Amino acid sequence: MRNKLLIASILGGLIASGYALTFSAPVANAGGLKNAKIYPKNTNKKAIKKDMKALSKALGVKCDYCHTMKALDKDSEMKEKARDMMRMMKAANKTLKAQGFEKSITCKTCHNGQKIPKY
Ligand code: HEC
Ligand code: HEC
């Protein structure tokens, strides 16, 4: 059931807006994350990597913009900024949903391939 929800949320997001972060859709029996403050700790590694690829593309960066590649769980200043953005986005999408809007925002909505959004 949860797997189905995750797939539905990924596909829904892909169709609606390029991609969807899978913040609140953990997959049972997954490998588990070592240092997750936003994603549920039991998030499937494949699912988070898919999200990470999408958000890297949205910002026009490679993984090492935020990560030490030898230890992806290690924190960095940029990772903390990204977490703040995830919190902001999650809150905005919750508000949109509560107000009856169908679409949600993603990193790409604002960043559109830029590290710092250009308006
Ligand atoms: C803009 C910053 C940013 C970029 C770029 C990025 N990540 Fe992340 N990544 C994060 C943040 C923030 C977290 C922690 C999420 C949390 O706290 O729940 C994370 C967590 C992870 C984790 C989980 C680590 C653990 O066990 O706790 C993996 C694996 C990962 N990223 C892989 C990647 C890969 C692979 C790429 C490139 C394709 C990438 N990331 C690009 C910000 C980034
Ligand atoms: C509502 C618009 C919006 C959304 C959605 C958004 N961002 Fe941002 N982001 C910004 C703005 C604006 C800044 C510049 C903030 C500043 O430094 O003044 C920024 C800055 C950042 C930075 C710091 C860049 C740097 O070099 O200092 C990171 C990292 C980042 N965003 C990651 C993300 C990620 C990852 C997502 C998706 C989870 C995301 N953002 C979603 C608007 C947004």
DSSP for 52-101 reads: HHHHHHHHT--GGGT-BTTBTTS--HHHHHHHHHHHHHHHHHHHHHHTT-
Residues 4-63: tens digit of each pLDDT: 544 444 443 333 333 455 554 444 444 689 999 999 999 999 999 999 999 999 999 999
User: Which ligand lies nearest the alpha carbon of 110?
Assistant: 2
User: Which ligand lies nearest the alpha carbon of 76?
Assistant: 1
Among the atoms of ligand 2, which is closest to the Cα of residue 89? 5
Q: How far, in Å, is the centroid of ligand 1 from the Cα of 100?
A: 31
> Is 0.85 topped by the overall pTM?
yes
Among the atoms of ligand 2, which is closest to the Cα of residue 65? 29
Q: Please give the pLDDT value at position 26.
A: 46
Domain boundaries, the chain: 2-111
Whether the per-residue pLDDT at 3 is higher than 90: the answer is no
CATH architecture group of domain 2-111: Orthogonal Bundle (1.10)
What is the spatial distance between Cα 59 and Cα 35, in angstroms, rounded to a whole number?
Answer: 22
Q: How far, in Å, is the centroid of ligand 2 from the Cα of 40?
A: 21
Residues 60-77: tens digit of each pLDDT: 999 999 999 999 999 999
